[in-house]
Structure 1
């Protein structure tokens, strides 16, 4: 028996991104649908992608991660379980991938999301898209159960590659350099609703930053801060601050001799990293004459895929009724497997269905039910 039973497949689920100039605007329209983002703002963001030939780096990053995850699961004796790849906002789309998995015989799927932290955009929105896909497939008479591994901001394979890259970067900078951990800014309202009790987005980021700082191979750990990038809301709406550009100016004025910029909030190099940090933030540092090093993300590291593989094995064991170890190397302890009802609330539409939570019940389409032989589709826990 495969060590991943009762699961028939693993789904690596990511954000998605365009791979050609003519895909940029349709992709951005998918990302922002229903959010009332002005067309001129989309055109402005499109220029970021066109700066790189209209191709986001995220897809190639995910292809490498997919290959690494398959290798790590095979090494653990689970190579007979298919590992699939789907996206929220661009091909291969989640619904299409799950439909193909069902056609291939899968009835239970375990999802690994390429977001390490709890928040609406980093967790619940993926769960909502999974719910949409399951409802669509139910209408087609396809019964699937989908679960999701826990958040992994506290895992060795996520933390250690970042620490190693920072250590290397510090060696190239003079004494007095600082560390700027950077993550995607979100609205204050989303931060207040993140996790089951609120503020989990910043709390888990700070826990990861502290764990990484403790792993640095340097005699004296430099001063570090958690700062933000990629704000996109209107000026009237409060978002998490300070912005990385403002922060660089502040630390230069305070006497910093250099900076290692660490995209701690990102699993892989995608547009917010290669444009907001590698392009805009580096240009600001150059103008300030502030030596600048950008640390690597964990996504391509074999150790990272190894940690994801262990989380997959852990969840499968738990579903078989075993009692697996649940290691956590940052924060107060391992994150939950199944999201509570009030976890990372959708403040715009709190009643929108979200899979992989205790309150998730798949609506039954009676026509599909009849086509499926009156079998009620299974609900994801």
Structure 2
């Protein structure tokens, strides 16, 4: 952590916005929420009801909102404990509290320069650019209402920040220790993340990173290697590992990143692997895709195969992650002041850019996006 940096916010920074995906908080919310998520795609309501069965298995409640509330509490406590006087707000893309409403509240409260933390750690269209488009849409709505438009600065990708990575290392170590002793040393690690179309992966990150898998795959592989190396150093066992994918959706004829976690478990079992630890490194918290795709579907597949599995914890509201967010705010503050700063980062890739460059994670239909080099709201 950059503890030597001045924690006093940049003169214009006066709030932090936690920007997330959102989720239903009861059975009546599920279909309207899915309509928000899929707006513009022409998906029939009956199909959305089918998709919503995953949520209905858990009472129609996604855990993501409660987890964001826990993260808000952790951030506020960490900021207060370390003298960072920065109020924290929360807005979602697809459910209440909606982003536009939260930004309106922030402007009404007098905030004019806002740091933004998205609950997505890696480069991709859906994990970065789309949030920036959402910010631009909301700022345009405020402008149309005659309100002052604040400046918003999105904090950099934090996939390799030690405060994000260390809790995941500890989660894998705990899962390995929880396996039966006779299969523990032979266990493989399946690092999982959300599958996305290969066409989107290939153009993720800055233009120079475009290619096979783009920055999305490179970043996940880098973090997986860091975790695997740490596990080896701390246990003395070099566990084989692979990056695998989950939560695929969309038309079957469109190529998405593979292999799927359930297919991977079948392959590992057929190869004689005695156990697998599933480590969801692509997710900040245990939201619906983790609870259903890993804890329900993949765990059922493993039981069918009689393959011992454990699922390691996501970072969630871990105090080390809250401290990492403080570090990111202080780091960006120093950069905005023009002060010299050495960003914290593990692995081979180094720290991500502060400002998304032109051509980074492009969308199929170009739209204005805030908090980047091409922002209409500089």
For 1:81 and 1:359, locate their aligned partners in 2 and report how far apart those are by CA, in whole Å: 27
Q: Aligned to 1:183, what secondary structure does the other structure show? A: strand
Shift in Å at residue 116 of structure 1?
0.3
Deviations 1:30-71 (A, max 9, x none): 011113334444222200000000000001111111111111
For 1:330 and 1:345, locate their aligned partners in 2 and report how far apart those are by CA, in whole Å: 26
Question: Which 5+ residue runs of structure 1 have no aligned equivalent?
Answer: 362-378
Which of the numbers 253, 260, 263 marks the counterpart of 1:243?
260
Which residue in 1 is equivalent to 2:272? 255
List structure 1 runs of 4+ shifted beyond 6 angstroms: none
Which residue in 2 is equivalent to 1:98? 103
CA RMSD of aligned residues (A): 1.3
Number of equivalent positions: 360
Which residue in 1 is equivalent to 2:27? 21
Which of the numbers 359, 363, 367 marks the counterpart of 2:374?
359
**Normalising to structure 1: TM-score of the pair?**
0.92
Deviations 1:183-220 (A, max 9, x none): 00000111011001321100000011011112212111
Shift in Å at residue 72 of structure 1?
1.5
* Alpha-carbon contact 2:31-2:45 (below 8 Å) kept: no
For 2:81 and 2:134, locate their aligned partners in 1 and report how far apart those are by CA, in whole Å: 31
Answering whether residue 313 of structure 2 is matched by residue 296 of structure 1, we say yes
Shift in Å at residue 328 of structure 1?
1.1
For 2:230 and 2:137, locate their aligned partners in 1 and report how far apart those are by CA, in whole Å: 41
Which residue in 2 is equivalent to 1:50? 56
Give the 5 Å matches for 1:1-381: 3-5=8-10, 6-78=12-84, 80-142=85-147, 143-173=149-179, 174=183, 175-197=185-207, 198=210, 199-216=214-231, 217-347=234-364, 349-350=365-366, 352-361=367-376, 379-380=377-378
Shift in Å at residue 140 of structure 1?
1.4
* Alpha-carbon contact 1:116-1:152 (below 8 Å) kept: yes
For 1:82 and 1:250, locate their aligned partners in 2 and report how far apart those are by CA, in whole Å: 49
Deviations 1:258-285 (A, max 9, x none): 1110111000000100000000000000
Are residues 184 and 140 of structure 1, via their aligned partners in 2, closer, same or farther at CA, if it must alter by over 3 Å? same
For 2:260 and 2:353, locate their aligned partners in 1 and report how far apart those are by CA, in whole Å: 31
Which residue in 2 is equivalent to 1:373? none
